[in-house]
Amino acid sequence: MAQARNMNEATAHPLAEQNPQHEPIGSSDPDRGAHVLIQNLSKVYRVHEREAGLKASLGSLFRRKYRDVRAVNDISFEVAPGEVVGFLGPNGAGKTTTLKMLSGLLFPSSGTVRVLGHEPFKRERSYLGRMSMVMGNKGQLQWDIPAGDAFLVNKVVYKLSDEQFRTALGELTDLLDLGPLLKKQVRSLSLGERMKCELAAALLHQPQVLFLDEPTIGLDVTMQARIRSFIGEYNRRTGATVLLTSHYMADVVALCKRVIVIHQGRLLYDGALDALSGKIAPFKLLTVQLEDTVDTPAEPMDALAPYGEVQRNQDGQVVLRVPRAEAAAVTARLLANLPVADLSIEDPPIEDVIDQVFSGNALAEAHVEAAR
């Protein structure tokens, strides 16, 4: 799949892919090719600002100062039918703004966006009936009625037949274990229970494209795992296209083979999740534990230091950082020269990799430049 290209190369982040532009998408067939197509998409907000204090407040009545905030800056990417893509970025990166433009809640300042062959901002009924958006911090359910009645409201909104409604609700009830919740008032549901009902309400009309904005925010570990499992199973059963934002990397690792990274409105990376680690952190972590024998060095760290950069030593286990290309050779030397009781080789945690991207870590940037 073609990856996105940031047009402002002079200020591009080192992760920005240098790939060709997508072909024009205005005449795309919604039933073939990508379900989501974005080309040079930007969103600029005009923000009023003033100093604190009464004098500044009065002055702003007559002379207001504004500045432009570029929330999304010339991004391009596409999502294929049935694909589950992680859309990553720190707070304020432009993720939610992008999803709102894709769902039709916001009008883009410039660029082209199509979902299922439609321009979302036109809010056509034929489009709205084939997509859905779930925001973890905002709900669509009416708080003063039972969840079952809230689902009936959506049945009317989406003009579902009785048979369609019963079939969809039955499947969602089985997948999400909604039975005990249907008669409970929405305001009395726990956060996890409400999120399950929110997902069910968003999926009653069986959308082809699903935008999920932090669906597991605030949930405990057990409920996060259940929601992840449901999203994956729903994708397998229906072939729905999913664009997922989350600050919980467990969500992304469990569901997404491909990730799109955005920072300060710019697209930094579009590709395989595994490849991101190789670009930013081209090293492996070797966890070594030596046998407790007469030949074992008194100080394991001193014995292991020549084999790589020692990251930590805890409970007799020493973690070494070695260049990815040298991992096999270093492992062979360790096994040949030292009494190794246990050894494991791992990629650095994806959380650490993403943190390096967001923090603009100079070492990460140097690694990317060296890899080009």
Domains assigned to the chain: 282-346 (3.30.70.980)
CB atoms within 10 A of CB 281: 23
Q: What is the predicted pLDDT for the residue at 46? A: 87
Q: What φ, ψ does residue 135 adopt, rounded to 5°?
A: -115, 125
d(CA 35, CA 238): 14
Q: What is the predicted pLDDT for the residue at 61? A: 78
Q: What is the amino acid identity at position 191?
A: L
Q: What is the predicted pLDDT for the residue at 197? A: 92
End-to-end CA distance of the chain: 20
- The pLDDT profile of the chain, 372 residues, written as one tens digit per residue, is 344 433 333 344 434 443 333 333 333 444 457 899 999 999 999 888 878 888 878 877 788 888 888 999 999 999 999 999 999 988 888 999 999 999 999 999 999 999 999 999 999 999 999 999 998 878 888 888 999 999 999 999 999 999 999 999 999 998 888 999 999 999 999 988 898 999 999 999 999 999 999 998 888 888 888 899 999 999 999 999 999 998 888 888 899 999 999 988 999 889 998 888 777 777 888 899 888 764 555 567 778 888 888 888 877 788 888 888 888 898 998 888 888 888 888 878 777 777 777 665 534 444 444 444
From the list 1, 5, 42, the residue with the least C-alpha distance to 20 is 5
Q: What is the predicted pLDDT for the residue at 253? A: 87
With tokens 């996890």, the residue in question is 192
Q: What is the amino acid identity at position 126?
A: S
Q: What is the predicted pLDDT for the residue at 360? A: 58
Q: What is the predicted pLDDT for the residue at 87? A: 93
d(CA 178, CA 170): 9
Q: Give 263: exposed, middle or buried? Use CB within 10 Å, 0-12, 13-18, 19+.
A: buried
For the chain, count helices (H), then strands (E). Answer: 13, 13
